[in-house]
Amino acid sequence: MYDNIFKELEDIINSNKTVVTDKLVKAISDSDCKDNVDIVNLIDKNLNIFKSMANDKDSNSVLVVISNVVDIDDAYINSLMFIMNNKHLRVYTLGEIIDVSSKFYRLISYGKLQEDIMSSNFESNSILEKGVLDVRDEIKSKVSLKVDGSKFSLNVRRSVFIFEKI
């Protein structure tokens, strides 16, 4: 029933693998399937969005979620990302997204886009400097956290999920 929508969504996603999240959300919103899908950028939402969307009688049966995903749940990394962008609530693990969404939606498609390298500078003796320097070594290696003087960067994988309401 939704084969054309799923195909169109996957075509849009596959042709936009390197764009920033907001541009991918806009590309999907501007597409022909926009009237048949709901789109959520999880960067500024919490996982309760799945329940809210599923219970909204006006929501569509297809939900596209774009999110940064990490392989570990780490408070330091989430704190750093919040300090870098205060719209950012949290980076979720793949398992967290699947666990919460599965109560309301069936996962149709999952795709990893290009990893984002997020970078910033910190001032000496700042909260950000303390946050960067306090990240445990095993976490640093998992997110490729690199520090060079007062500059740092880390890798975060952007992912796209296509769900169908159950």
pLDDT tens per residue across span 109-143: 888 876 777 788 889 998 888 888 888 888 888 88
Adjacent-strand bridge partners of 69 = 92, 157
Confidence of residue 17 (pLDDT cuts 50, 70, 90): low
Range 44-49 average pLDDT: 89
Give the pLDDT confidence score for residue 102 in this predicted structure. Answer: 96
Torsion of CA 43, 22, 70, 122, to 10 degrees: -80
Residue with tokens 């975060």: 156
Q: Where is average pLDDT lowest: 37-51, 77-91, 139-153?
A: 77-91
| Residue 160 near residue 24, CB atoms below 8 Å | yes
Please check the confidence at residue 1 and state whether its pLDDT lies above 60: no
pLDDT band at 48 (very low <50, low <70, confident <90, very high): very high
**pLDDT attached to residue 18:** 62
**Torsion-angle region of 112 (φ positive above 0: left; ψ -120 to 50: alpha; else: beta):** beta
CA-atom Rg of the chain in angstroms: 17
Q: Where do the DSSP E strands lie in 6-145?
A: 37-41, 62-70, 92-93, 105-121
Q: Who contacts 9 (Cβ-Cβ below 8 Å, separation ≥6)? A: 28, 31, 33, 37, 62, 64, 109, 162
pLDDT of the residue at 107 = 94
Q: 68-95, pLDDT tens digit by residue?
A: 887 777 777 777 777 777 777 778 888 9
Placement of tokens 């909204």 in the chain: 56
